[in-house]
Amino acid sequence: MTSEFFSDLAAKFGLMFLGLAVFAAAVGVILFLADRAPKRGRDVWQLLAFLAPAMILLGVGLVYPAINTAVLSFFNRNSSEFVGFDNYVWMFTEPTILTTLGNTLIWVALVPTLSTVFGLAYAVFIDKSKGEKVLKSLVFMPMAISFVGAGIIWRFVYEYRAVGFSEQIGILNQILVWLGQEPQQFLQNSPWNTFFLIVVMVWIQTGFAMVLLSAAIKGVPVEIIEAARLDGANAWQQFWNVTVPGIRSTLVVVVTTISIATLKVFDIVRAMTGGNFDTSVVANEMYTQAFNRGEFGQGSALALVLFVMVLPIVVYNVRVMRKQKEIR
């Protein structure tokens, strides 16, 4: 078994180094040729050499697929027949899909709000306190953990054993038992199970919000806070009237980034309930329809709805970016 494992290992790493070498050679050749381009139009050749690889990949890998998916959403399950808006009608009349859409709205309403509030509160609480680095690391750590890993971690927290059957192995149910309550099936009792999944996402994203907001808080000039204090503002007034306006742009970035991540969330639902018990979200449902059931038309329609939900955030971000460029 071991020798088999090591020959497998050698083959895979061999392939990896070959891939890296081929890639390096390709980039090298492109830049070398750009360097030696004929004098006439050299600028154009060099621009192409730098920009074309990225643009070709994005065109083939994102722009074309996005357009194609939009078109597929108007065709039947194997894309052989044009069906108009049937897939969209299906989506808004099928009760399970309506639940899915509703769940997605609950996710995108709760996750960014809760993560930002917890992250901001935590950043303020630990600001300049002793052991700030360690406290920061503890809350930031879930960012490094995969959604699947987080799903496993929290499945153990929520694990349920029926009364009298055995001891509880999930800490949340054990706490309920200690308090003299009945243990609950946290992941199966709809509609509350959606909220228990949301807790996992909040657990992951709070560290992200905290790190960015903490850096922004440290950028608020001490003099202004001092001045507010001398004017007699209490801690809450200082926070609300000085700190929050000072970090507004970072708050916007944090909320939009987490909103986008939340809309696309797929792994948590997949790893914890598989979308059963009324917990599915659009991103997960799209995968289920297209890849598990072979319903490419319906899957594509769901993907398009996801895009439409993200679109306002894109437009808002682009406008903010434009404004910043004007200021510069």
Partner 1 sequence: MSDATTRADDKLDRPLGQKTPTTAAEKAQAEREPSKTRRVKERLTSPWATAAAILIATLWTIPTFGLLVSSFRTPEEIRSNGWWNIFVSPSFTLENYFEVLTVSGASSANLGQYFVNSLVIAIPAALFPIAIATMAAYAFAWIKFKGSGALFVLVFALQIVPLQMALVPLLQIFSQVLGISGTFPAVWIAHTIFGLPLCIFLLHNFISEIPGEVIEAARVDGANHTQIFFRIIIPLSLPALASIGIFQFLWVWNDLLVALVFSGGTADVAPLTQRLAELVGNFGRNTERLPAAAFISLIIPLVVFFSLQRYFVRGLLAGSTKG
3-state secondary structure of 166: coil
Distances (CA, A) of 199 to 10, 151, 268, 295: 42, 11, 11, 31
User: How far apart are CB 254 and partner 1 at their closest, in Å?
Assistant: 7
User: How far apart are CB 153 and partner 1 at their closest, in Å?
Assistant: 5
Question: What tokens does 172 get?
Answer: 């949340």
* Residue number, 270 or 278, with CB nearest to partner 1: 270
3-state secondary structure of 276: coil
Paired residues of 75 in beta bridges: 82
C-alpha to C-alpha distance for 254 and 245, rounded to whole angstroms: 15
User: How far apart are CB 246 and partner 1 at their closest, in Å?
Assistant: 11
User: How far apart are CB 89 and partner 1 at their closest, in Å?
Assistant: 20
Neighbours of 206 (CB within 10 A): 26
Alpha helices per DSSP H over the chain:
2-35, 42-58, 64-72, 86-93, 95-126, 132-140, 147-158, 171-178, 192-219, 222-230, 235-238, 244-246, 248-263, 267-272, 282-287, 296-327
Neighbours of 184 (CB within 10 A): 17
* Residue number, 80 or 166, with CB nearest to partner 1: 166
Question: What tokens does 99 get?
Answer: 């639940």
User: How far apart are CB 86 and partner 1 at their closest, in Å?
Assistant: 18
User: How far apart are CB 82 and partner 1 at their closest, in Å?
Assistant: 17
User: How far apart are CB 108 and partner 1 at their closest, in Å?
Assistant: 13
**Which candidate, 190, 164, 162, places its Cα nearest to that of 173?**
162
How many residues are present in the chain?
A: 328
Paired residues of 82 in beta bridges: 75
Phi, psi of 245 (to 5 degrees): -60, -35
Distances (CA, A) of 5 to 12, 13, 14, 202, 274: 11, 12, 14, 39, 32
Question: What tokens does 192 get?
Answer: 């509350």
**Which candidate, 295, 216, 294, places its Cα nearest to that of 250?**
216
User: How far apart are CB 23 and partner 1 at their closest, in Å?
Assistant: 6
